[in-house]
Amino acid sequence: MKDSLEVLEKEIGYIFKNKNLLKNALTHTSYAYENKVKSYERLEYLGDSILEFISSKYLFENFEKLSEGEMTKVRAYAVCEDSLYKIALEHNFSDFLYLGRSEKMSNTNKKAILADSVEAVIAAMYLDSNNIEIVQDFILQNIKEQVEFASKHIGIKDYKTCLQEKLQENGEVQIKYNIIKEEGPDHNKTFTAEVECEGKKLATGTGRSKKSAEMEAARKAIKIVE
């Protein structure tokens, strides 16, 4: 049975007056088609625009040294599918999605669905509150770290690449990632990865895939070596 939406409201820090808006924001097209209800597609469209505006405004006001092109690159990194997917995982959106039978069976686009649902929830939050500052708080709480990282490493594609470049500034070193733990059922596993340099353990990270766990370990390691 699907968890109560009150749990998700607590996760995102906002209580909806119109609960149907939140449910709509979590309704995938497959469920909408099978049950003759609205999907989150229109909300996703609005949420994408709100997310772009808030992130652009934040960059404009807080990163005066960045050029237009650099701000565009930072924004693209901070609000890309991977970043939105991470937000969805942190707030357990997957426990609340309304998916049709076909989508549950295939489960092929889960990453994209979760990312889309974050944009839809942002739009629903705005429509329900009619208060852009509430939405802004939620967005910035969840993207500030990515913005800070990207502003320092414009053009760097990911945390693993950045860590490698930092560790190899004075010559080549051996960097190794190990999956040290797997938890949960096959359809919902959590992995823990460890990154080491020249045999020295730097940091560990967890994620819903081996790649995301390694990326999280690299992110934590960057903070240590900076």
Question: What is the domain-level CATH number for residue 175?
Answer: 3.30.160.20
Of the listed 44, 119, 194, 216, which one is catalytic? 119
Res. 1 pLDDT band, cuts 50 70 90: very low
- Give yes or no for a contact between 198 and 174, defined as CB atoms under 8 angstroms apart: yes
One domain, residues 149 and 165: no
Domain assignment of residue 168, given as a range: 160-225
One domain, residues 150 and 171: no
Provide the CB-side half-sphere exposure for 139 (13 A, CA). 29
One domain, residues 108 and 220: no
Task: Judge whether residue 158 has pLDDT over 80.
Answer: no
What is the number of domains present in the chain?
2
The CA distance from 197 to 182, in Å, is: 22
DSSP class of residue 37 equals -
One domain, residues 39 and 103: yes
One domain, residues 34 and 92: yes
Is 186 one of the catalytic residues?
no
One domain, residues 137 and 164: no
Is 183 one of the catalytic residues?
no
Of the listed 44, 48, 194, 216, which one is catalytic? 48
- pTM for the predicted model, two decimal places: 0.70
